[in-house]
Amino acid sequence: MASKSKTVYLCDECGYESPKWLGRCTSCGAWNSLKERKISVSPAGASPERKLAPDSKVVTLKSVTASNEERLLCGIGELDRVLGGGLVIGSLVLVGGDPGIGKSTLLLQTAGLMAENADILYISGEESEKQIKMRADRLGSGDKDIRLYCETNIDKILSAAENLKPHVMIIDSIQTVYSEEISSVPGSITQVRECCMMLMKYAKQSGTAVFIVGHVTKEGTIAGPRILEHMVDCVLYFEGERHQSYRILRAVKNRFGSTNEIGVFEMEGDGLHEVENPSTALLMGRPKDTPGSAVVCTVQGSRPILAEIQALTSPSGYGNPRRMGTGLDYNRTAMLLAVTEKRLGLNLQNMDIYINVAGGLKINEPATDLAVIMAVVSAYTGKPIPEDVAAIGETGLTGEIRSVNLIDKRVSELSKMGFKRCIVPGGCKVKAPDGTKLLYADNLSAAVRLCFSGKKEENV
C-alpha cells in the first residue's frame, strides 16, 4: 500500500516532535522554535518493508578479518597525534570551536599539506572562492592543487564528490548545508542531523575521509543535537582564547585512538604553528618572586605538560565574596578552597579569590589539587613559592594528599625543565632524576611547611 504523509512540528533546539504548532516547546522551553515538517507514514496495519543494502549480508564475527586501519598523514604532527596517528580512511571527523578560534585555518593548512599526496575537495558554505584564495595565500597553500566548491545543497555536494572521488573532503560548515527534502531552515536540528547522516553514509561507502566544521553555542557545545556527536567517528574541540596566541586541539571522542591526547598550536600571521615543547611555551613569562604562582605537571594523554597555576586573594567589599576560576573545574575549585580554609586555618570567607591557568590551558585531572592550594596559600600569606619548587598531588576532604598516576613521568619532565624540588604525595615512592629532590608530604600542613620553609628531603 502507498504511504501517506502527515505534518508534524519539530523543535529546532531539542528535536521535540509535536502534532500541532506551539509557541513554546514543552520539552526545552524555547520560544518560536517549532517548525513544520512533512513525513511519510505507512497505513495502519501495514508492515513497513525492510530491505538490506545490495552489498549487505549477515556474517559471523569470527569470520571477519581486520587489520590495522589505513591512515593518511595530515602533515601536521599535532593533528596526527590527536587523531591517533593520522586520518583513518572513510572516517567522519567533527571539528568544533568558538568563532574566530582558527578551525578553518587549521583545515585549510591541512588541505594544503595533504594535497601533495591526496586529492582534496574543500566545500565552503560561508566564503567565496576569492576569500578562500586570499587566506590560502597567507597560509602558503595558494599554489596547492585543492579543489574548491562553494555550495550549500547537500545533494549537489555529494554529486560533486561522487564525480571527483576525493581522498579527503572538508565541509565548512555543517550548519550552512541543507537538503531540499526538508522544509526547515539551514542550521536547524533536522537539517544538521539529516545532512550529517548523508555525509556519514557517503564516507563509509566511498572510503573518503570527511572533515566537518561545527559551530559552538554559547554554552560551549557544538550547535545541533547531541546525536551529531554520536554519529561521527571523531570529535575534536579547538580551544583557546581569541586574544591569546596559543590554541589547544582536544579529542573528546575518537573511535580510532585515545581521547586524552592534545595538540598545542600557536597562532601567528602566517597561520598555525606547532608547539613541540608546550611546557616551555606555557611557562614563558612566569613572574619571579611573586606570590600566588605555583607550577604543576599535568599529563594529557601520553604527554606531560608543565602548567602555571595563578591565584589572587583580595578582601571582599561585598557581603558575598567572589570565587572565579579559569581553566579549572569550578566545583572542584570551590571544594579545594573549603578544604584550605578548614584544614589550614586560613580565613578565606571574606576574601575574593581568583584562580587562573596561564596560557589558556584547561585542566581537569585531580593531580593539580596541591598546586592550586599552594598558589592560594602563597597569595594569601604574600610569600612567594621558590622558583625551583613544583607541587603534584590529589587532595581529599580531610586534607590528606593522595597518590597520582604517572608520577615518574611527571617528575622527569620537571627535572628537564630545571626544577630542583618537587612536593609529591607520601605514597609515591619513585626514584628522581639526578639533580632533583623529592619532598614527601602526607597532608596539607606538611606540604605547606616543605614549600615555604625550604626544607629538603633525600631521594628514595
Question: For 374-430, how does the pLDDT look when each residue is reduced to its tens digit (9 = 90+)?
Answer: 999 999 999 999 999 999 999 999 999 999 998 999 999 999 999 999 999 998 888
Nearest to 348 by CA among 319, 326, 380: 380
pLDDT of residue 223: 54
pLDDT of residue 2: 53
Please say whether the beta carbons of 158 and 164 come within 8 A.
no
Per-residue model confidence as pLDDT tens digits over 442-460 = 999 999 999 987 544 433 3
Is the per-residue pLDDT at 242 higher than 90? Answer: no
Is the per-residue pLDDT at 244 higher than 80? Answer: no
Classify residue 126 by its DSSP letter.
Answer: S
CA distance 370 to 382: 18
pLDDT of residue 348: 92
pLDDT of residue 291: 95
**Do residues 99 and 211 both lie within one domain?**
yes
CA distance 84 to 94: 15
Containing domain of residue 355, as a range? 281-453
Residue 460 lies in a domain: no
pLDDT of residue 228: 79
* Pairing between β-strand 209-215 and β-strand 168-172 as defined by DSSP bridges: parallel
Per-residue model confidence as pLDDT tens digits over 123-147 = 999 899 999 999 999 998 888 999 9
Is the per-residue pLDDT at 298 higher than 90? Answer: yes
pLDDT of residue 435: 85
Q: What CATH code is carried by the domain that includes residue 382?
A: 3.30.230.10
Q: Which three cell numbers stand for residue 233?
A: 567517528
**What are the two backbone dihedrals, phi and then psi, of residue 124, each rounded to the nearest 5 degrees?**
-120, 125
CA distance 29 to 222: 20
**Do residues 437 and 301 both lie within one domain?**
yes
Could you tell me which residues come within 8 angstroms of residue 54 by beta carbon, excluding any fewer than 6 positions away?
none
DSSP alpha helices (H): ranges in 72-153?
Answer: 77-83, 103-114, 129-139
**Do residues 296 and 264 both lie within one domain?**
no
Residue 381 lies in a domain: yes
Q: Cis bond leading into 173, ω under 30°?
A: yes
CA distance readout (Å), 132 to 127, 143, 146, 216, 267: 7, 12, 11, 22, 18
**Do residues 346 and 431 both lie within one domain?**
yes
pLDDT of residue 459: 36
Q: In terms of C-beta density within 10 A (0-12 exposed, 13-18 middle, 19 or more buried), how is residue 260 classed?
A: middle
**Do residues 295 and 414 both lie within one domain?**
yes
CA distance 440 to 460: 10
Classify residue 33 by its DSSP letter.
Answer: -
Segment 190-202 mean pLDDT: 90
How many structural domains are present in the chain?
A: 3
pLDDT band at 361 (very low <50, low <70, confident <90, very high): confident
Residue 357 lies in a domain: yes
Residue 55 lies in a domain: no
**Do residues 233 and 359 both lie within one domain?**
no
Per-residue model confidence as pLDDT tens digits over 257-282 = 888 788 989 988 889 999 888 888 88
Q: What CATH code is carried by the domain that includes residue 182?
A: 3.40.50.300
CA distance 391 to 444: 11
Residue 60 lies in a domain: no
Nearest to 327 by CA among 307, 357, 355, 306: 357
Reported residue count of the chain is 460
Segment 431-450 mean pLDDT: 91
CA distance readout (Å), 11 to 31, 172, 457: 9, 24, 63
**Do residues 244 and 353 both lie within one domain?**
no
**Do residues 288 and 270 both lie within one domain?**
no
**Do residues 224 and 292 both lie within one domain?**
no
**Do residues 364 and 436 both lie within one domain?**
yes
**Do residues 320 and 340 both lie within one domain?**
yes
pLDDT of residue 219: 55
Sequence letter at residue 356: N
Could you tell me which residues come within 8 angstroms of residue 431 by beta carbon, excluding any fewer than 6 positions away?
408, 459, 460
Classify residue 263 by its DSSP letter.
Answer: E
Helix and strand numbers, DSSP H then E, in the chain: 11, 23
* Percent of all residues in the chain with a pLDDT value above 90, rounded to a whole number: 53
Residue 373 lies in a domain: yes
Residue 58 lies in a domain: no
Is the per-residue pLDDT at 310 higher than 80? Answer: yes
Per-residue model confidence as pLDDT tens digits over 71-101 = 899 999 999 999 999 999 999 999 988 888 8
Per-residue model confidence as pLDDT tens digits over 26-76 = 887 888 878 777 665 555 555 445 444 455 688 898 888 766 678 899 999
Q: Is 109 or 13 the better-scoring residue by pLDDT?
A: 109
Question: What is the SS3 assignment for 125?
Answer: coil
Element (H, E) at 376: helix 369-381
**Do residues 74 and 143 both lie within one domain?**
yes
pTM: 0.75
Classify residue 46 by its DSSP letter.
Answer: P
Segment 303-316 mean pLDDT: 93
Nearest to 440 by CA among 429, 424, 455: 424
Rounded to the nearest 10 degrees, the angle between the axes of helix 330-344 and helix 444-453 is 80
- 215-222 long-range contacts (CB < 8 A, ≥24 apart) are 215/96, 215/99, 215/173, 215/175, 216/96, 216/97, 216/98, 216/99, 222/94, 222/96
Is the per-residue pLDDT at 217 higher than 50? Answer: yes
* Mean per-residue pLDDT over the chain, rounded: 86
Range from 50-64, 102-116, 282-296, 315-329 carrying the lowest mean pLDDT: 50-64
Residue 35 lies in a domain: yes
